[in-house]
C-alpha cells in the first residue's frame, strides 16, 4: 500500500524530533564528562587565573571550611569569615600549618543586617581578592556585592547532601559526600561551568531526578527519605538522652 505524503512528513518529523532528543542527551553527557571527569586532570589553575586572596564566608565548619583548606592548598591566602572567634583562629592555624599560606579572620554574623558590611569593607580594603566563596547563603545582598568587586567569578554551586553539622554529620555513601571531597570536586569544575551541583554524584542525582523520574515518584522518594531520616534522627537523639 502506498504511503500518503502526510504520513511521510510525520515520519520525518518524528525522526527529527528523536534525533534532537538523542543529540541533546549526548551533548549533556559530553559536557558532564568534561566538567566532572576530565577536569580532575585538566584543572583550571585558579591561583594563576584569579590570583590574590580567597574570601570564604562560613569558613569554620563543613563545606566552607573544606573550601578554605582546599583553596589554601591550591596556593591562595585566605580570609575566613564566621561568627565564632575561637573556631576562626583554629582553622587559620590549621591552614597556616598545612599549606603555609597567610590567613586573615573576620568575626561576623551575617544576620546582623546592613550595618555589618562596613566592617567587611574595612577589613578587605587593602587586599587583592581573586575568589569569593559566599557559603553562608546571603548571596544576593546588594551591599556585599558592592563591597566585593570580583567580576570574573560568577558561579552557582547547588549541593545535594554533604555530611556536615547542618546535616547532622550523616553517614557518607555514594550519594552523600564528605565536605573535603565535595569542595575538591567543586573547585575542579571552576572554569568549566557557571552552574553546577558541584560533584559527579550530585549532578547524576539531579539528572535522574530532573529527567528520568516523574514528579510523583520523586515526591514519594523525597517524602520517604525525609521521613526515614527524621525518624532515625529522633531515635539517635532519644538514645543519646
Ligand atoms: N550540607 C549540605 O548537605 C548542604 C546542602 C545544600 C546546601 N548547603 C548550604 O551550604 C552552606 C554550608 O553548609 P554546611 O553544611 O557546610 O553548614 P555547617 O557545617 O553548619 O557550617 C556553617 C558555617 O557557617 C558559619 N555560619 C553559620 N551561620 C552564620 C552566620 N549567621 N554568620 C556567619 N557565619 C555563619 C558557621 O560558623 P560559626 O558557627 O562559627 O559562625 C560554619 O562555619 C549553607 O549555606 C547551606 O545552606 C549545604
pLDDT confidence tier of residue 153, bands split at 50, 70 and 90: low
Residue count of the chain, please give it.
241
By C-alpha distance, which of 35, 81, 84, 33 is closest to 55?
81
With beta carbons less than 8 A apart as the criterion, state whether 22 and 122 touch.
Answer: no
In 3-state terms, what secondary structure has residue 131?
strand
Tell me the β-bridge partners of 99.
none
Window from 25-34, 113-122, 207-216 with minimum mean pLDDT:
207-216
151 Cβ inside 6 Å of ligand 1 = no
Distance 201 CA to ligand 1 centre (A): 21
Grid coordinates given for 21: 532528543
* Ligand 1 pocket check for 109: Cβ under 6 Å: yes
Q: What is the pLDDT of residue 219?
A: 73
Q: Given this model, what pLDDT does residue 68 score?
A: 98
pLDDT at 232: 77
Q: Please report the pLDDT score of residue 172 as a whole number.
A: 97
The C-alpha cell of 89 is what?
583562629
Name which of 123, 74, 128 is nearest 101 in CA terms: 74
Q: Say if ligand 1 is within 6 A of residue 82 CB.
A: yes
- Cβ of residue 84 lying under 6 Å from some atom of ligand 1: yes
State CA 185 to chain mean position distance: 9
Q: Are 160 and 40 in contact (CB under 8 A)?
A: no
Amino acid at each position: 500500500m502506498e504511503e500518503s505524503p502526510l504520513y511521510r512528513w510525520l515520519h520525518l518529523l518524528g525522526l527529527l524530533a528523536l534525533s534532537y532528543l538523542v543529540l541533546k542527551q549526548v551533548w549533556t553527557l559530553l559536557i558532564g564528562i568534561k566538567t566532572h571527569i576530565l577536569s580532575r586532570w585538566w584543572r583550571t589553575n585558579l591561583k594563576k587565573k584569579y590570583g590574590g586572596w580567597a574570601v570564604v564566608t562560613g569558613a569554620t565548619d563543613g563545606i566552607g571550611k573544606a573550601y578554605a583548606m582546599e583553596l589554601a592548598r591550591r596556593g591562595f591566602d585566605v580570609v575566613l569569615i564566621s561568627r565564632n572567634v575561637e573556631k576562626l583562629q583554629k582553622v587559620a592555624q590549621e591552614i597556616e600549618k598545612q599549606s603555609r599560606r597567610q590567613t586573615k579572620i573576620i568575626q561576623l554574623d551575617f544576620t546582623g543586617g546592613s550595618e555589618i558590611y562596613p566592617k567587611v569593607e574595612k577589613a578587605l580594603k587593602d587586599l587583592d581578592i581573586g575568589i569569593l566563596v559566599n557559603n553562608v547563603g546571603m548571596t544576593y545582598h546588594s551591599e556585599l556585592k558592592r563591597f566585593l568587586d570580583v567580576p570574573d567569578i560568577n558561579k552557582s554551586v547547588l549541593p545535594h547532601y554533604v555530611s556536615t553539622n547542618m546535616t547532622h554529620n550523616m553517614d557518607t555513601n555514594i550519594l552523600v559526600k564528605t565536605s573535603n571531597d565535595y569542595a575538591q570536586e567543586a573547585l575542579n569544575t571552576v572554569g568549566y561551568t557557571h552552574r553546577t551541583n558541584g560533584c559527579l554524584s550530585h549532578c547524576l542525582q539531579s539528572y535522574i531526578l530532573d529527567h528520568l523520574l516523574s514528579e510523583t515518584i520523586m515526591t514519594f522518594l523525597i517524602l520517604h527519605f525525609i521521613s526515614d531520616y527524621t525518624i532515625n534522627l529522633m531515635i539517635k537523639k532519644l538514645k543519646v538522652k
